[in-house]
Structure 1
Amino acid sequence: MNYLLDSNAYIQAKNFYYRMSICPGFWGWLDFNFQHGRVGSIDMVYDELVHAGDDLSSWVKQRKAVFMAVDDEATQSNFGEIAQFIVAHKTMREPHVSNFLSVADPWLIAKAKTIGATLVTQEVLVPDNSTKVKIPNICREFGVSYCNTFDLLETLKAQLVFPG
């Protein structure tokens, strides 16, 4: 697996620029890359997405196999290091710390670190003195590569071409 997608990569695509009704090519492109083992995610992202009761949750339910478990020893160890770093950080504050640790984000970073994957998120870096906890900042701290959806599409040479 080369790329792991954050929940917001799916959600923002569905809500904005790749709505399922107007851009099925994006979702087909994801399926193609799922099948070739280039793109996936973790089971906690699956859990976050399936409860919305919308088109995306229906789509995700049919693709459970591309959402990997995080119960392996290496991922668990990496998660522990990430959690310890965040809790001990001098500027990251509540409720941001608890919120971050209660969702898939730290597990996604831990799994990406474990398997050497690039994490795909629409989050952006915040200044080092921010009280917020953001995926890119934690990725940078732990040597995990990250990019946004548009970088992923460009890197994997996606072409969402209109056939007519």
Structure 2
Amino acid sequence: MSKFIVDSNFFIQAHRAIYPIDVVHSFWLKVKKLADSGTIISIDKVKLEIFDNSAHEDELKDWCQNNLSDSFFYNTDSVLQNYIAIVNWASSSNYTDRAKQEFLETDLADPWLVAYAMSTGDTIVTYEKSEPNIKRRIKIPEVCKGFNVRNVNTIEMLRELNESF
């Protein structure tokens, strides 16, 4: 069975706007169950965005530290060639120079998520929505289209897994 690779906004948006940890415990129990079973995974760059970014609440960091094992966050060193292909794609795209620069920041998880999914065939889970006519920001769904990588949102993933909470 293919896995689902979750973006940092899977956690951040859920906690901030949709399923706050202190209110919707059942969502977070479901996330832990899916993580423990290996159904959902993430990458080292997502861990950096959650743990090392002071803009994120301590409650989310604490939850991740207490409920996700180190093995949940896969190392991306092995997908460098795919990352280079994404860099070349972004560099030759019609996005603004600023959009390209922001997208290709070394520790930004987005291109690395796609690079990892290219190597595994897994599906990316993100709250980002396709906006192909917007050129001021490169979004995960556009990169996924460019590299034939599947992406879904959280609800679509839960439906595919026949999960509820």
TM-score, normalised by the number of residues in structure 2? 0.90
What is the deviation of 1:3? 0.4
1:147 is aligned, of 149, 152, 155, to: 152
Any unmatched runs of 5+ in structure 1?
none
Segments of 4+ moved more than 2 angstroms: 127-132
Residue aligning to 2:4: 3
Residue aligning to 1:113: 118
Residues 109 and 119, structure 1, Cα contact 8 Å, conserved in 2: yes
CA–CA distance in structure 2, aligned partners of residues 24 and 60 of structure 1:
14
Aligned: 1:95 with 2:101: no
Matches within 5 A, 1:52-63: 52-62=56-66, 63=68
Aligned: 1:69 with 2:75: yes
Identity %: 30
TM-score, normalised by the number of residues in structure 1? 0.90
Residue aligning to 1:13: 14
CA deviation profile, 1:118-164 (whole Å, cap 9, x unmatched): 0001111112462421100000110000001111111111221xxxx
Q: In terms of mean alpha carbon deviation, does 126-135 or 11-20 score higher?
A: 126-135
Residue aligning to 2:161: 156
Structure 1 pair 14–129 and aligned structure 2 pair: CA distance change class (3 A): closer
Residues 127 and 154, structure 2, Cα contact 8 Å, conserved in 1: yes
Any unmatched runs of 5+ in structure 2?
none
CA–CA distance in structure 2, aligned partners of residues 135 and 118 of structure 1:
12
Give the count of matched residue pairs. Answer: 157
CA–CA distance in structure 1, aligned partners of residues 98 and 82 of structure 2:
22
Residues 83 and 112, structure 2, Cα contact 8 Å, conserved in 1: yes
